[in-house]
Structure 1
Amino acid sequence: MATKNQKVEVNKDPAKQTVEPGAMVQKKPSDSWEPFASLREEMDRLFDEFSPAFWRMPLARQAFGPIREARGHVQVSPAVDFVEREDAFEMQAELPGLTAEDVEVKLSDGKVTIRGQKSASRDERNNEYHLSERSYGAFMRSFGLPKGIDEDKVEARFANGVLTVRLPKSQDAMRHEKRVSIKTS
């Protein structure tokens, strides 16, 4: 230990630095083993792989596709946006590779349901495929109808692989809407 007015040599080369036995050494956080932190990082990584977008990719294979295909079942699920406008709700579903004739829209029991089927259109006689990621099969998605929909005026359009279903609000529902002002303190 140095005393007052005593010169102490400081070694700035990390390779030559030593620690006296019994000295307290503070570990960097990266030096310590933190089982819960590493578990959390691994869980975050796994959930990132299975994000909501993963489950809704338009007509894409799922991670468990080979298992389902072995049973003769391929699950496809179109990505859907559901938006509220001033006078209507609007639902848009991405359905690439389909036509209006391949899709059906129904209203029943307070739900709007879209269903359809994408058929395979490939020649597998020569089996020269090195990779096949496109999915084929039936799909169905149902959504609860918002209150105040005028079911007699619901319309559906199909263009450029996108199905748009317009769900107009009833006049009564639009009359009951009221904007509430927000006051500051």
Structure 2
Amino acid sequence: MFRPLEPFKELTTLQERINKMFEDVLPSFSLQDSKWLPAVDIYETDGNIQIEVEVPGMNEKDLKVKVEDNTLTISGERKFEKKESKDNYYRIERNYGTFTRSFFLPDNVDKEQIKAKYENGILKVELPKKLEAKPKEIEIAVQK
């Protein structure tokens, strides 16, 4: 029986497993009304969870970051600006229109301290972790 060659099947399976691992730690969902979805990297440092959203060609005023309950939502719009009316495009591969990405926040995120910064086409959202209360040890004297 002939089986088609699938050289990237193992790589795809590995990518799916990695995606599943991240979804278990910081699940996300995307709304279906988005025209496009920018690429997102999520990683953890000692004191923060970092989200980096690839949105080149946008202006910070076209981006919106908000927290509602335990959900962080990043949305925006990249507008198509035709340079001159006589331009005849043969191909447009860049994505334009609105997008929305939403992420469930873990309980250990300090929502009041979230910061966002747009630089060189990347929106960086810093999610500081809450300081964990260290257990206080009290020694109790044992009496006879």
Shared fold, TM over 0.5? yes
- Pairing 1:87–2:41 present: no
What corresponds to 1:154 in structure 2? 114
Query: 1:146, 1:90 → 2: CA distance?
Result: 13
1:112 maps to 2:72: yes
**In the TM superposition, what are the counterparts of 1:2-17 in structure 2 within 5 Å?**
none
Select which of 102, 125, 139 maps to 1:142. Answer: 102
Q: Which structure has the higher relative contact order (CA within 8 Å, separation 6+)?
A: 2
* Mapped pair 1:129 → 2:109: no
TM-score (norm 1): 0.55
Aligned partners of 1:172, 1:123: CA distance in 2, in Å?
Answer: 53
Answer 1 or 2: which has greater strand percent: 2
Q: What CA distance in whole angstroms lies between the structure 2 residues aligned with 1:142 and 1:128?
A: 36
Q: For residues 49-70 of structure 1, what are the alpha-carbon distances to aligned partners after superposition, in whole Å with 9 as ceiling and x for unaligned?
A: xx87xxxxxxxxxxxxxxxxxx
Change (3 A) 1:74 1:127: farther
Higher helix share: 1
Could you tell me how far apart the structure 1 residues matched to 2:45 and 2:88 are?
49
In structure 2, the CA distance between the partners of 1:74 and 1:147, relative to structure 1 (3 Å rule), is closer
Higher mean C-alpha displacement, 99-108 vs 127-136? 127-136
Paired-residue identity, %: 33
Query: Is this contact kept in 1: 2:50–2:124, CA < 8 A?
Result: yes
Gaps in structure 1 of 5+ consecutive residues: 1-33, 53-72, 177-185
Q: What is the Cα deviation at residue 115 of structure 1? A: 0.1
Mark the runs of 5 or more structure 2 residues left unpaired by the alignment: 17-32, 136-144
8 Å contact 1:74–1:135 — kept in the other structure? no
Q: 8 Å contact 1:74–1:136 — kept in the other structure?
A: no
Greater CA radius of gyration, 1 or 2?
Answer: 1
Say how many residue pairs are matched.
Answer: 116
Structure 1 SS opposite 2:132 = helix
1:75 CA displacement: 2.1
SS of residue in 1 equivalent to 2:61: helix
Distance (whole Å) between structure 2 residues aligned to residue 82 and residue 134 of structure 1: 23
RMSD: 2.8
